[in-house]
Amino acid sequence: MKNEKMYDIDFNRPTIVGKELFYISQAIHEGHSAGDAAFTKKCHAYLEQALQVPRVLLTTSCTHALEMSALLLDIQPGDEVIVPSFTFVSTPNAFVLRGAKPVFVDIRPDTLNMDETKLEQLITERTRAIVPVHYAGVGCEMDTICAIASKYNIPIVEDNAHGLFGKYKGRYLGTFGTFATQSFHETKNFICGEGGALIINDSRCIERAEIIREKGTNRSRFFRGQVDKYTWVDIGSSFLISDLLAAFLYAQLEARDEIQAKRQKIWHYYNDHLQDWAEGKGVQLPTVPAHCEQSYHMFYMLLPSLEYRQALISHLKARGILAVFHYLPLNLSDMGRKYGGRAGDCPVTEDVSDRLLRLPFYNDLEEADLACVVQAIKEFDPWYSPLAS
Ligand SMILES: *Cc1c(COP(=O)(O)O)cnc(C)c1O
């Protein structure tokens, strides 16, 4: 069965669950497709209620929600922001855009989250924010991170792109930081193509967040009848999502239980069926500490070596199964090096980045597909496969 394609299983496939198209047409028929119309308000109310947070504002992306956080924190040139070295570029970029210097903290070898034991030594006079990323929707060690942040009076911004509805010690991810950011990009649990949200946990920041999101105007207050005209009052930009996309998103949020149940099933299928194989091969499956309820965002494995991973990717690809690696160490990227990043700064990230493989993961994966993936993995023998040479 050399290079013969046997299955066709994508890594990700955006799926709709229910009323997405109906709600989009409803938004069009009602004549409101710009931002902050009926469906945006429904999404805000849904998320505020579900997470019990003071304010949620939908944005065009998680990247933009991170940029809003940097504006709200008045990040200035020369400020330092601590971010994990194993994350998406937007986590540091949003702050770098304001002139900040990213300071990379290595990750834990078990959860692949920011290593909280290495955090305090990176804090300086110039540190203005700590940005934990809840990798794969498993909570960072927030007790320690919050304690360090409050000791030095440094705000936390949670990049919670993976972790919507995950919990740390019974408390929702996204409710710990001054701000938290969500993504509704088509690769995330809840989607609308491109979209995001800023969660504001400090009520004192709500009004300024509304202004920054509305091009620096007090238009939100005007619409609530709190001022009789709106005008330019601060810096800002256009961070509002179209109500057509909010309509898409609202249908997804309404199907929260269905979506999360499907993803939970997929995650456990992989975990249960790969356990023995992984033990035999020295492969590490995801660690979810007992005090964390994960969001079932992805399933990854840590393979014994880079060569092993590349050979397994090829082996699966030959069978029509797309499995992919993930973040490259940011400290070793072109931009990271400009800010002083060097090889060896973040040894766990540098090691894990080479060995991590993500398996196909999307809501509509059937059990038969999952069985194919698992079987194909078990058939892989790196030392005898013709693809390994
Ligand atoms: C997807 C992702 C982002 C960016 O989300 P967008 O909505 O595409 O801007 C940021 N951070 C992390 C950790 C992500 O996974």
CA 276 to centroid of ligand 1, rounded, Å: 33
Task: Verify whether ligand 1 is closer than 6 Å to residue 62 (CB atom).
Answer: yes
Which atom of ligand 1 sits closest to the CA of residue 196?
7
Measuring from atom 14 of ligand 1, which residue has the nearest CA? 161
Q: Is the CB of 185 under 6 A from ligand 1?
A: yes
Pairing verdict, β 179-183 and 157-159: parallel
Determine if ligand 1 sits within 6 Å of the CB of residue 90. yes
133 ligand 1 Cβ < 6 A: yes
Instruction: Give yes or no for residue 159 CB within 6 A of ligand 1.
Output: yes
Ligand 1 centroid distance, CA of 370 (Å): 26
Cβ–ligand 1 distance for 61 under 6 Å, the answer yes
Answer whether 92 contacts ligand 1 (Cβ < 6 A).
no
CA of 298 from ligand 1 middle (Å) equals 14
- The Å distance, Cα 374 to ligand 1 centre, comes to 28
Q: Would you state the torsion angle of the CA atoms of residues 15, 19, 23, 26, taken in this order, to the nearest 10 degrees? A: 130
Q: What is the pLDDT of residue 4?
A: 55
- Residue identified by tokens 């290593």 is 115
Atom of ligand 1 nearest to the CA of 183: 7
pLDDT at 1: 46
Q: Strands (DSSP E) along 44-147, which ranges?
A: 55-59, 80-84, 101-105, 127-130
Task: Answer whether 175 contacts ligand 1 (Cβ < 6 A).
Answer: no
Contacts of 201 (CB under 8 A, 6+ apart): 53, 54, 175, 176, 177, 178, 179, 180
Whether the domain at 20-107+116-254 and the domain at 256-323+359-378 fall into the same CATH topology: no
The packing angle between helices 20-29 and 243-254, to 10°, is 150
Averaged in consecutive runs of 10 residues, what is the pLDDT profile of the chain (389 residues)?
Answer: 68 94 96 95 98 98 98 98 98 98 98 98 98 98 98 98 98 98 98 98 98 94 90 96 98 98 98 96 97 98 96 96 96 96 96 98 96 96 57
Q: Quote the pLDDT of residue 7.
A: 74
**Ligand 1 nearest-atom number relative to CA 63:** 9
Amino acid identity for residue 5 in this structure = K
249 lines ligand 1 (CB under 6 A): no
Q: What is the pLDDT of residue 382?
A: 73
Determine if ligand 1 sits within 6 Å of the CB of residue 219.
no
DSSP symbol at 59: E
Amino acid at 136: A
Stated pTM of the model: 0.96
CA of 44 relative to ligand 1 center, distance in Å? 19
- Nearest atom in ligand 1 to 135's CA: 13
> How many angstroms separate the alpha carbon of residue 305 from the centre of ligand 1?
27
Q: Where are the beta strands (DSSP E) in 142-227?
A: 157-159, 167-168, 171-172, 179-183, 196-200
The best mutation among 60, 159, 248 to test binding of ligand 1, ranked by most ligand atoms within 8 Å of the C-beta, falls on: 159
Of 366, 251, 190, nearest to 18 by C-alpha is 251
Cα of 118 from ligand 1 centre, angstroms: 24
At 38, list the tokens.
Answer: 């009926």
Pocket-testing residue among 12, 61, 63, 164, ligand 1, by greatest number of atoms within 8 A of Cβ: 63
C-beta 349 within 6 A of ligand 1: no
User: Domain 256-323+359-378, what fold?
Assistant: Aspartate Aminotransferase, domain 1 (3.90.1150)
- pLDDT computed for residue 373 by the predictor: 97
The alpha carbon of 192 and the centre of ligand 1 are apart by a number of angstroms equal to 13
Asked if residue 78 lies in contact with residue 96, where contact means CB atoms within 8 angstroms, the answer is no
> Per-domain residue ranges for the chain?
20-107+116-254, 256-323+359-378
Question: What gap in Å lies between CA 83 and CA 348, rounded to an integer?
Answer: 15
Torsion of CA 74, 80, 85, 89, to 10 degrees: 40
88 CB near ligand 1 (under 6 Å): yes
* CATH annotation of 20-107+116-254: 3.40.640.10
